[in-house]
């Protein structure tokens, strides 16, 4: 594409402007959600450099001090805005959340993404420190509660998503328009989005941005072994499993020997103690690093069915925006032009 085509002279797709892109100061309203073990400076800076918002995952760093160093490293890799995710999940030995938060608030990072529990203890402090807050949740009632807290942007995960889809099992096609009708704050659609069709659909449903997890794992810059990226490419939309359903802490992960065993044990009434050795975070992390697809639990969403290559983040985002515009134009043409005779379609 040349200057005449995009009007910016940089060969890139023109910006896609929504309240989300404006508020976050990014070219395209495409966010890389927090990802345990994956949300490092390599991943976040690549997404931010490609015109989206990259997000570091606080708890991937072993200590608050290590997070401070990772933020500095990311800053040395991109001049664009990036955020930090802080996820509150049930844990036997909770991490020192307050100290992680202190680091984030004093780091100069412009965006905090929270997920998991109600962020009531975090959002007022983050806003007072001048950060833009995104809260990611999986139900409309939690989205409304976040809006009441003053969260700037609400990210909503449909049941398709990787990680924790909650227990209501509502897909994005229903969840996103309900949220768009009921919230005043801008919303980001998350879960199941991997291409320009998904981006276009999200915008049409009333979202003003998208959040991607799994799709960004299958990119050149994701800090994951190539064999795992290939497993994501090879997987179909049927190749995820829901583990921890019996614990009411459901997580969507890639189908492999471990997740099959966890589901089988749960169906026999196994308690968490029995599952624990299988699902240890350290095993999942080791699997991502070594490429042993059956080595641990690997978080992934149904969107694996849409993934068939491992592009750079820049190529992926340009392709998504281009395809989004083409899909929106095609839909517009369908709604205004008379139906072409069958022979011509």
Contacts of 128 (CB under 8 A, 6+ apart): none
Tokens of 34: 């927090």
Q: Which of 190, 246, 250, 318 binds ligand FMN (CB under 6 A)?
A: 190
CB 81 within 8 A of CB 53: yes
Q: What string of DSSP letters covers 87-146?
A: EE---SS---HHHHHHHHHTTT-SEEEEEES-GGGTHHHHHHTT-EEEEEESSHHHHHHH
88-117 residues near ligand FMN, rule: CB under 6 A: 115
Q: Does 266 help bind ligand FMN (rule: CB under 6 A)?
A: no
| Contact region with ligand FMN (CB under 6 A), list: 172-180, 206-214, 255-263, 311-319 | 206-214
Give the nearest distance from C-beta 136 to ligand FMN in angstroms. 5
| Contact region with ligand FMN (CB under 6 A), list: 44-52, 73-81, 213-221, 240-248 | 213-221
Q: Does 299 help bind ligand FMN (rule: CB under 6 A)?
A: yes
Distance CA 330, CA 310 (A): 27
Give the nearest distance from C-beta 224 to ligand FMN in angstroms. 8
CB 320 within 8 A of CB 199: yes
Give the nearest distance from C-beta 5 to ligand FMN in angstroms. 30
Question: In Å, how far are 14, 38, 79 from 215, measured between CA atoms?
Answer: 22, 12, 23
Q: Does 188 help bind ligand FMN (rule: CB under 6 A)?
A: no
Q: Does 33 help bind ligand FMN (rule: CB under 6 A)?
A: yes
Question: In Å, how far are 3, 122, 151, 152, 173 from 184, measured between CA atoms?
Answer: 37, 21, 11, 10, 19
Distance CA 168, CA 139 (A): 8
Q: Does 44 help bind ligand FMN (rule: CB under 6 A)?
A: no
| Of 78, 126, 120, residue with least CA distance to 102 | 126
Q: Which of 300, 307, 316, 321 binds ligand FMN (CB under 6 A)?
A: 300
* Cβ-proximal residue to ligand FMN, closest one: 213
Q: Does 61 help bind ligand FMN (rule: CB under 6 A)?
A: no
Q: Does 40 help bind ligand FMN (rule: CB under 6 A)?
A: no
Q: Does 262 help bind ligand FMN (rule: CB under 6 A)?
A: no
CB 82 within 8 A of CB 44: yes
Q: Does 34 help bind ligand FMN (rule: CB under 6 A)?
A: yes
- Measured from the CB atom, is 254 or 275 closer to ligand FMN? 254
Q: Which of 163, 172, 209, 295 binds ligand FMN (CB under 6 A)?
A: 163
Q: Does 256 help bind ligand FMN (rule: CB under 6 A)?
A: no
Phi/psi region, residue 269 (left: phi>0; alpha: psi -120 to 50; beta: rest), is left
Tell me which residues touch ligand FMN (CB under 6 A). Answer: 33-36, 38, 57, 85, 87, 115, 136, 157, 160-163, 190-193, 211-215, 217, 299-301, 303
């Amino acid at each position: 594409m040349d200057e005449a085509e995009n009007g910016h002279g940089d060969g890139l797709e023109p910006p896609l402007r929504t309240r989300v892109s404006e508020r976050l100061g990014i070219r395209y309203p495409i966010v890389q959600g927090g990802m345990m073990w994956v949300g490092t400076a390599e991943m976040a800076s690549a997404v931010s450099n490609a015109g989206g918002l990259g997000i570091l995952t606080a708890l991937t760093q072993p200590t608050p001090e290590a997070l401070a160093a990772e933020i500095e490293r990311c800053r040395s890799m991109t001049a664009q805005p990036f955020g930090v995710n802080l996820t509150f999940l049930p844990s036997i030995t909770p991490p020192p959340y307050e100290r992680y938060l202190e680091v984030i608030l004093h780091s100069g990072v412009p965006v905090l993404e929270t997920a998991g529990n109600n962020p009531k203890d975090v959002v007022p402090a983050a806003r007072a420190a001048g950060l833009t807050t995104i809260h990611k949740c999986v139900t409309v009632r939690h989205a409304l509660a976040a809006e009441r807290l003053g969260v700037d942007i609400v990210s909503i995960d449909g049941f398709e998503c990787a990680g924790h889809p909650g227990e209501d099992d509502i897909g994005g096609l229903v969840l996103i328009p309900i949220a768009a009708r009921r919230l005043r704050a801008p919303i980001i659609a998350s879960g199941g989005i991997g291409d320009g069709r998904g981006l276009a659909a999200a915008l049409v449903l009333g979202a003003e941005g998208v959040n991607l997890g799994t799709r960004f794992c299958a990119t050149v810059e994701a800090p994951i072994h190539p064999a795992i990226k290939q497993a994501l490419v090879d997987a179909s939309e049927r190749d995820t499993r829901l583990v921890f359903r019996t614990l009411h802490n459901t997580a969507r992960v890639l189908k492999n020997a471990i997740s099959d065993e966890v589901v089988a044990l749960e169906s026999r009434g196994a308690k968490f103690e029995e599952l624990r050795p299988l699902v240890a975070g350290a095993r999942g992390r080791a699997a991502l690093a070594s490429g042993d697809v059956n080595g641990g639990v690997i978080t992934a969403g149904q969107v694996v069915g849409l993934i068939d290559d491992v592009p750079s983040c820049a190529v992926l985002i340009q392709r998504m925006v281009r395809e989004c515009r083409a899909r929106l134009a095609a839909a517009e043409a369908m709604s205004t032009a008379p139906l072409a005779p069958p022979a011509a379609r």
